[in-house]
Amino acid sequence: MSLEPQELDDLTSKIGRKPTPTELQIVAAEWSEHCSYKSSKIHLKMLPMKGPLVISEKGYDSGVLDVGDGYVITAHIESHNHPSAVEPYGGAATGVGGVIRDILSTGTRPIAILDGLRFGDIEKDLQARWLFKNAVTGIADYGNCLGIPTIGGEVEFDECYSNYALVDVAAIGFGKKKDLIKNHANRGDLVVLLGGSTGRDGIGGSQFASDSLESEDRSAVQIPDPFIEKLIIETILEARNQNLINAMKDLGGGGLSCAVSETADALSIGIEMDVDKVHTRESDMSPDEIMVSESQERMLIITNNEKLKKLEKICNKFHVKCSVIGHVTSDSMMHVKKGKKTCANLPTTVVANAHLLDRPSKKPSYLENIEQEKKLSPISNYSKMMMRLLSSPNIASKIWIYGQYDHEVGIRTVIKPGKDASVLRLDNGKFLAAKIDGNPKHCYINPREGAIGCFEEACRNVVCTGAKPIGMLDHLQFGNPENPEIFWTFLESLKGLTDFAKYFEIPCVGGKVSLYNETPSGPIKPTPLIGILGLIEKKPLHSQKITSGDYLVIIGETKNELGGSEYFEYIHKFVGGKCPIVNFKESKTNMNAVLDVIGKDFLKAVHDCSKGGLAVAVSELCMINQIGCDVSLEKVPGPKLDADRTLFSESHSRYLVVLDKKNLKKLEEYLRKNKVSYNLIGQFGGENIRFSSGHKPIIDLRVDKAQKTWFNSLKELVHG
Amino acid sequence: MKVGIIVFPGSNCDRDMYHVLTDVFKLKAEYFWHEKGLPKNIDAIILPGGFSYGDRLRSGAIAAHSPIINDVRKMAEKGIPILGVCNGFQILVEAGLLPGALLKNTSLNFMCKWTNLIVENNKTPFTNKLKLHQKIPIPIANGEGRYYVDDDTLKKLKRTNQIVFRYSEVVNGSTDRIAGVCNEDGNVVGMMPHPERATESEINPIDNKPSSLIFESLIKTIGVKN
């Protein structure tokens, strides 16, 4: 809750005097890792952030992409890990609320939510199960009440998250380019705080999130109120329509301290404010508490005298409170008063710009021998083993989760959750595909290649719907950056993402870094999470019903890459081996080929091949369509491997393509001409999922039994 | 011919309903904020879904006391077609304009899924173009969607033909699988599923025609388009 000794010296020398207690609180909040990105900022610059579709404006908390015809989409990603680990319901719910306000602050209407959740081993760990269940309910209750559809996401369970939780929320907004708020302020403009009252909840939240999780400081967790958030959304959008907002920022980590200092710094202005003018939940709050409270559902707005009346009228209509708390000055100072008494008077550049660190890094010693494989114990019955894999929490259907989220509201959801990526229709006749992906098991073994793999997987997922990736969101989650070995894994992941983004010319439009994700039992595995937005100009690929006789073609090579696979980790309890590596050239060839072929409009379905490998990907197609399939493993392209390796390798850049027999020639002609590695590996029909190698059956499952297990196991696990 | 869409604080399907009425079915529609009165020239009223007042107290309980409900009540007495969808249904029930109560689903969870409705009364202003026992593929999205009435009321509802829709399967524990009911006169209809989410083929993965007939029934009832 306080500054490091050298930071205090730094502050004292910069302002030339001893800081006041309120100043210390303000600066401690703003200079926390959570708000200042002091460990990561100098490195994040390596990511490409510009592109032909990217629109950047001063002080935006979310990325903006031009989708043509006068429309834009906005996107951002946030996490709420520490709060969710101690109070999963409120932590997860307020995580949704925060990122929604980031979307709103650009003047766009939030139209979709995606969430990435990670917990300990819910099969054994009751605490993990409790966290999981309540985080899902928290997200559902918040998003559903707002009427913003939760259209997708991912969930993963791994022992590295025991007694902890990662709750990542991405949000997407949509609006007219002309309605974007062009943040600006003039001397004398009014500073307005709009929304919920400021209370004692979430005090010190950003510092709490900037340290390892050792105590359960529930008072640092914010209390969710989706009803007020919904009213704020409508109030702001109505005010935007009447052009009443000059500049706007959401109140998140660090509360008023961060919102005021960052707004002033971004717009090169000063702000003078009075804490007595802030509408509070309790009457006896101190200036320090008011400045660092992280009470939710609040927005900071800069407007002027003339517009204020109209803004107040809209606030009255929705019964949303708004208080004029100060005004804009030209001295670049953040001047906080209580009545006439000055509590803080600091240069905004000092507050908003913490001293950035260049932390040392060192390759972790655990990586020395991680790629060496141990001898695996033989599997006597692969069919039985496969059933166990289909029921495992990481592979099982996530319908228990997305069935609790309203994914239809807003009537844009063209491709619903449960597919490779969800797709929304936009008002200009185009479509937006979105997906988030992470893979800590791969990233633990190889932080660079694992991170690239997450990026490619998210791209593959949107490509399966016919969408071209146009923007990326990254969320980099690691342990304590003061540990050089952890910091090395952060840098490696970031470098990998940068290389892939540059090669594919996919700009990073938003991101977040979350460090200190540790509990007394240790740090989490490196967990970069990548969100991809894809644009579809004409129409998305709707999966058609697979019927008997349809062909199954695989694009891409299956390699001996089982490190971090579900097969090694869940079945063999082995952490190690070589994790999948993306070959950039092959990746681009395959991605472009799939997009081209989808455009020719003769495919029935395209499905990404990832977690659980070919065996799980084929089974998913069968279970969703309730049809069997015969697959010949020796036909799978790539180096010659043992049958289990072909089945469960998690090599990237692979796509399963389903098509009517009669269209095979067309597909082959195209793929051959473009030098794409592919093969016809199977045919649908019957009631069994069969994998054989040289006519020797390896796996033989009844579809209906597999489907029942896959579909129900997560629900049964949670409800007991 | 004009349809009024009533907007409460926390309504969130109002814009979806407006889109379907105006863009899909070319009707005139206008939003009415809950604190205002309703003009006389309204031909039908729709209470859309959402979370009025954040579902506090009980879903629909606070909105049922909004000033505009007095006008809705008067229009109901005059026989004007009124449809409540999801939270709109809950509000009509709380306001006493429709019988029964809506309880938490037996799963105790919010449920968003596609299901099928069976038309049980095709004499209402919102079902008169549907066939009796016709199937309607449609999504539900609610936490408190379990319709409940006691045995005597159920008998009465059957006798007076007030059951408008049933689910084709057991979805949430509703009494007698009831998904929608009407008042005795038949002009006030409430339903938990969302017809506005099912009328366009782009977002309806099964068949958008049956639920479109709900809106076409309204057009037939209140007159020609525009």
Q: Which amino acid is at B42?
A: I
Q: Is the pLDDT at A294 greater than 70, yes or no?
A: yes
**CB within 8 A of A524, min separation 6: which ones?**
A118, A160, A161, A164, A166, A440, A477, A478, A479, A517, A518
* Interchain proximity B55–A145, CB inside 8 Å: yes
- The distance of Cα A301 from the centroid of its chain, to the nearest Å, equals 27
**Sign of the dihedral defined by the CA atoms of residues A325, A328, A329, A333, in that order:** positive
β-pairing, A468-477 vs A508-514, is parallel
Query: What is residue B95's predicted lDDT score, i.e. its pLDDT?
Result: 98
**B196 a catalytic residue:** yes
Q: Is the pLDDT at A128 greater than 50, yes or no?
A: yes
- Which of A129, A119, A106, A96 shows the shortest CA–CA distance to A176? A106
Instruction: Tell me if residue A683 falls in helix, strand or coil.
Output: strand
Query: What is residue A512's predicted lDDT score, i.e. its pLDDT?
Result: 94
Least CB-CB distance to A408: which of B19, B55, B112?
B112
- In total, chain A counts a number of residues equal to 720
Query: What is residue B225's predicted lDDT score, i.e. its pLDDT?
Result: 45
User: Hey, what are B186's tokens?
Assistant: 């038949």
Backbone φ and ψ for A555, nearest 5 degrees, come out as: -105, 135
B111 in contact with chain A, both atoms CB, cutoff 8 A: yes
Q: Which amino acid is at A556?
A: G
User: Hey, what are A16's tokens?
Assistant: 């030339």
Average pLDDT over residues A550-556: 98
Query: What is residue A719's predicted lDDT score, i.e. its pLDDT?
Result: 87
What is the interface pTM, i.e. ipTM, of the complex?
0.96
Q: Which of A592-617 are b and which e, b meaning 16 or more Cβ less than 10 Å from the residue's Cβ?
A: ebbbebbeeeebbbbbbbbbbbbbbb
CA–CA gap between residue A537 and residue A675 (Å, rounded): 26
- Which of A460, A466, A458, A452 shows the shortest CA–CA distance to A501? A452
Instruction: Tell me if residue A175 falls in helix, strand or coil.
Output: strand
Query: What is residue A209's predicted lDDT score, i.e. its pLDDT?
Result: 65
Q: Is the pLDDT at A535 greater than 60, yes or no?
A: yes
Q: Is the pLDDT at A110 greater than 90, yes or no?
A: yes
Using CA coordinates, name the residue in chain A closest to B51.
A145
- The distance of Cα A472 from the centroid of its chain, to the nearest Å, equals 10
Q: Of the residues B13, B34, B86, B120, which is catalytic?
A: B86
Confidence of residue A220 (pLDDT cuts 50, 70, 90): low
Q: Is the pLDDT at A388 greater than 50, yes or no?
A: yes
Report chain B's C-alpha Rg in angstroms: 16
Confidence of residue A210 (pLDDT cuts 50, 70, 90): low
Contacts of B205 in chain A (CB under 8 A): 416, 542
Instruction: Tell me if residue A522 falls in helix, strand or coil.
Output: strand
User: Hey, what are B214's tokens?
Assistant: 């709900």
B146 in contact with chain A, both atoms CB, cutoff 8 A: no
Contacts of A409 in chain B (CB under 8 A): 12-13, 16, 49, 141, 197
CA–CA gap between residue A81 and residue A523 (Å, rounded): 13
Domains and CATH numbers, chain A: 543-720 (3.90.650.10)
Residues of A with a catalytic annotation lie at 34, 80
Q: Which amino acid is at A456?
A: E
Query: What is residue A510's predicted lDDT score, i.e. its pLDDT?
Result: 93
Instruction: Tell me if residue A324 falls in helix, strand or coil.
Output: strand
User: Hey, what are A141's tokens?
Assistant: 């209750």
Average pLDDT over residues A150-175: 96
**CB within 8 A of A309, min separation 6: which ones?**
none
Q: Are A202 and A221 in contact (CB under 8 A)?
A: yes
Contacts of A227 in chain B (CB under 8 A): 9-10, 51, 53-54, 56
Average pLDDT over residues A5-16: 94
Q: Is the pLDDT at A302 greater than 50, yes or no?
A: yes
**Sign of the dihedral defined by the CA atoms of residues A225, A227, A233, A235, in that order:** negative
Q: What angle (nearest 5°) sits at the alpha carbon of residue A148, between those of residues A227 and A253?
A: 65
Q: Is the pLDDT at A524 greater than 50, yes or no?
A: yes
**Mind listing the pLDDT tens digit for each residue in A635-673?**
999 999 999 999 999 999 999 999 999 999 999 999 999
**CB within 8 A of B37, min separation 6: which ones?**
B67, B68, B71
CA–CA gap between residue B226 and residue B221 (Å, rounded): 13
B9 in contact with chain A, both atoms CB, cutoff 8 A: yes
**Mind listing the pLDDT tens digit for each residue in B18-59?**
999 999 999 999 999 999 899 999 999 999 999 999 999 999
Average pLDDT over residues B144-162: 98
Average pLDDT over residues A352-367: 95
Backbone φ and ψ for B103, nearest 5 degrees, come out as: -105, 170
Q: What angle (nearest 5°) sits at the alpha carbon of residue A398, between those of residues A135 and A539?
A: 115
Contacts of A141 in chain B (CB under 8 A): 110
User: Hey, what are A575's tokens?
Assistant: 């952490």
Query: What is residue A57's predicted lDDT score, i.e. its pLDDT?
Result: 83
User: Hey, what are A393's tokens?
Assistant: 């929490």
Query: What is residue B226's predicted lDDT score, i.e. its pLDDT?
Result: 43
Confidence of residue A76 (pLDDT cuts 50, 70, 90): very high
Contacts of B113 in chain A (CB under 8 A): 403
Q: Are A400 and A718 in contact (CB under 8 A)?
A: yes
Domains and CATH numbers, chain B: 2-222 (3.40.50.880)
Q: Are A295 and A199 in contact (CB under 8 A)?
A: yes
**Mind listing the pLDDT tens digit for each residue in A592-612?**
999 999 999 999 999 999 999
Query: What is residue A61's predicted lDDT score, i.e. its pLDDT?
Result: 85
Least CB-CB distance to A230: which of B12, B13, B196?
B12
CA distance, residue A148 to nearest chain B CA (Å): 8
Angle at which helix A703-719 crosses helix A613-625, to 10 degrees, equals: 100
Query: What is residue A219's predicted lDDT score, i.e. its pLDDT?
Result: 59
pTM above 0.80, yes or no: yes
Query: What is residue A205's predicted lDDT score, i.e. its pLDDT?
Result: 66
Q: Is the pLDDT at A1 greater than 70, yes or no?
A: no
Q: Specify the range with the lowest mean pLDDT, choosing from A133-147, A202-216, A458-472, A516-530.
A: A202-216
- Burial class, A340, CB count within 10 angstroms (exposed 0-12 / middle 13-18 / buried 19+): exposed
Q: How many CB atoms neighbour CB A376 within 10 A?
A: 15
Q: Are A474 and A498 in contact (CB under 8 A)?
A: no
Average pLDDT over residues B123-150: 98
CA distance, residue A280 to nearest chain B CA (Å): 21
**B194 a catalytic residue:** yes
